[in-house]
A and B are shown apart, each in its own frame.
Chain A
Amino acid sequence: MAQALPNDGVMRAADGTPLKVALARAGRAERLKAVALVLPLFAFIIFSFVVPIFIMLYNSVYDPDVAENMPRTVLALKTWDGKDLPPEEVFAAFVADMKTAQQNKQTALIGKRLNYEMSGIRSKVVATGRKIGSIEAAPYRDQVIAIDKVWGQPETWATIKRSSSDYTPFYILSMLDLRQTPDGSIEAVPADRAIYRSILARTLGISLLVTLLTLVLGYPVAYLLATSPQRTASILMIFVLLPFWTSLLVRTTAWMVLMTDGGVFAGLLHFTGITWFLNLTGVLNGEPQLFKTRFATVVAMTHIQLPFTLLPIYSVMKTISPTYMRAAKSLGGTPFYSFLRVYMPQTLPGVAAGCLLTFILCLGYYITPAIVGGPTDQMISGFIERAINSENNWGKASALGVILLTATLILYYVYNKLVGIDRMKLG
């Protein structure tokens, strides 16, 4: 027998619980189930992707080499005013620290870290470490300075003091060609040592140029694809999708093969008379050098990115009814005017989406400039790779990573507002 339900006007489920409570319970169960489904991937991404990246980015400000290996010196420098040479206690602490560091074979590490801020000091630190054992009793100051004059300069001690914290803004600042002066203010580095801003500018410049080229080349193609009859459009689409689906490495390889000295591209330029023409006008002297140039980099990147710009424009154009153009023309607009004032404004969302996507992807290019570009065509990613594989400088790699990632995330935020990231077209 079902028990009698109280007649209080509350809607109830079959088992007598008020409907509101039953619904909330069902909703909670449903939500738990949803979370349980997402959890495996979420945990996996956090563990295998998000945590590694955060650890890496942390390296751009975390730098304990000096603090760990010169603890007594760092402590003694705390009270130093930074104006004159540090007092005798600092030198005493320095001698003690260097002796320990020499025993633990850490002097090279200290030297390497200090060398980032004071070039040429690395060998002096290592040499001092080797000789430090001969100092046995006070006074320390003159004996230390006798080993190397560099210890007699207040600037050296200011550098040690500055790098004594576990955290340093040094890497990020220097990747923007800025540095901290001994008194803590921030200034631009001298022009002859400012190299990183030009790398950033180069990365932005190449990305912008490639984006513009893909737009100029892609827009008419998208237009024709969107307005042609279905059958023609499907055939034309193959020309766009086949390169799109071919791996980036294969396409870069293709350009490398075509652009090698005396390769197919040079032959084509020769055959069409372009080489002759360029020689005639004095732009060129002899055969063109294509491989390992900016030209090759931009051409290959444009080729690879063209479908990324073109496809979003195409999908927007597909939604524009041809009646608008007919209406504009029948109202007396010239073809050009109608296109400019009626058709083109409607394609702008697609243009923005395609260009933004291409620009973002260009910022992170590594493979293509590495293969077809010369040393002066490498972009940020290339310098990150080099900082790790050739220089073993994690602070530098991480700081460049912070800059690249920040730029990318800001642009993706804009992209997301504009298009919606989960609606990104995949082929």
Chain B
Amino acid sequence: MAVPAYYTRGETVIYYAVRVFVALVLLFLIAPILAVMPLSFNSESFFTYPMPGLSLKWYDDFFFNPRWSGSVKMSFLVAIATTILATALGTLAALGLARANFPAKATVMAILISPMIVPVIISAVGMFKFYASLDLVGTRLGIILAHTALATPFVVITVTATLASFDRTLMRAGASCGAAPHTVFFKVVMPLILPGMISGALFAFVTSFDEVVVVLFLASPEDRTLPLQMFSGIREMISPTITAAATVLVLISTAMLVALELLRRRSERLRGVAPG
């Protein structure tokens, strides 16, 4: 990137100053995440460079110690159940909200989105007390219900956004060709809003998979999710296994990011916005 020829000297200085500043900020954003990853291969249990030697023992601990591997299984179980529930409930609701003259739309929308707005500690404490009275504290069902409540707003928002550009006459066309309502939904509507549904589902998955505060209150000590295991690990005894766990989680979120980006490109291509 060369400076345009007509720039004054002052402009040139600012041009480079801004770029250096931005480079430093981007470094600040990415460096902490990258700096932790190599430490997970450290052969000693301290957190600094230079590392005396390389070792995979923290990964061994992460994948084969039942405390960690159990928490990974638990996290996947809860997150997948949450994703299915949240995507189904959220998509239905978004379809209903998108229909013309829905009664009290703004209020209903505000209530449906409220789990995203209320600070999570308040949600956690409220659910803890209420779920305790239903004997749901310490159960997986309790955590799945709580996470579903926290995750549905993301599905509602993404699917609603997709429906905004959805041509509703297609549904009438389907119906006038003799398709039953569920056929219209599965053959016409769903293929078109699928990108929105999938990105909503990804958000729901990540919301559940990363959530700590609610599980801190609702999970039983024997049945922890991965984030809770990390959080407790940090508080009780710092083991370098958390750097291995962090590395694995970063890789998972990178995969999510790539999936979302591909979806975005696909929907843009379908709408003819972006070049090939």
Contact = CB atoms under 8 A, between A and B. Distances in A.
Interface stretch (B54-62, B63-71, B97-105, B187-195): B97-105
B96 A37 contact: yes
A10 interface: no
Q: Which size bracket describes the interface of A in this complex?
A: 35 or more
A384 B121 contact: yes
B138 interface: no
Nearest to B249: A250
Given A45-B149, A264-B47, A255 B108 contact: no
Contacts of A412: 117
B119 A381 contact: yes
A30 B33 contact: no
Given A38-B108, A49-B149, A217 B28 contact: yes
Contact of A40 (B29, B92, B118, B157): B92
Interface in A236-258: 236, 239-243, 245-251, 253-258
Nearest to A335: B11
A246 B33 contact: yes
A236 B26 contact: yes
A255 B32 contact: yes
B32, B90, B120: most-surrounded residue (chain A CB, <10 A): B32
A418 interface: no
B22 A45 contact: no
A258 B28 CA distance: 12
Contact of B18 (A223, A243, A247): A223
Contacts of A22: none
A267 B48 contact: yes
Contacts of B16: none
B256 A42 contact: no
Nearest to A267: B48
Nearest to A382: B121
A221 B48 contact: no
Contacts of B257: 241-242, 245
A397 interface: yes
Contacts of B102: 31, 34-35, 38
A19 interface: no
Interface string B234-245: 110010001100
Given A39-B96, A381-B119, 13 more contacts: A31-B99, A31-B101, A31-B103, A44-B89, A221-B22, A247-B210, A248-B210, A263-B47, A264-B47, A267-B49, A401-B121, A401-B125, A401-B126
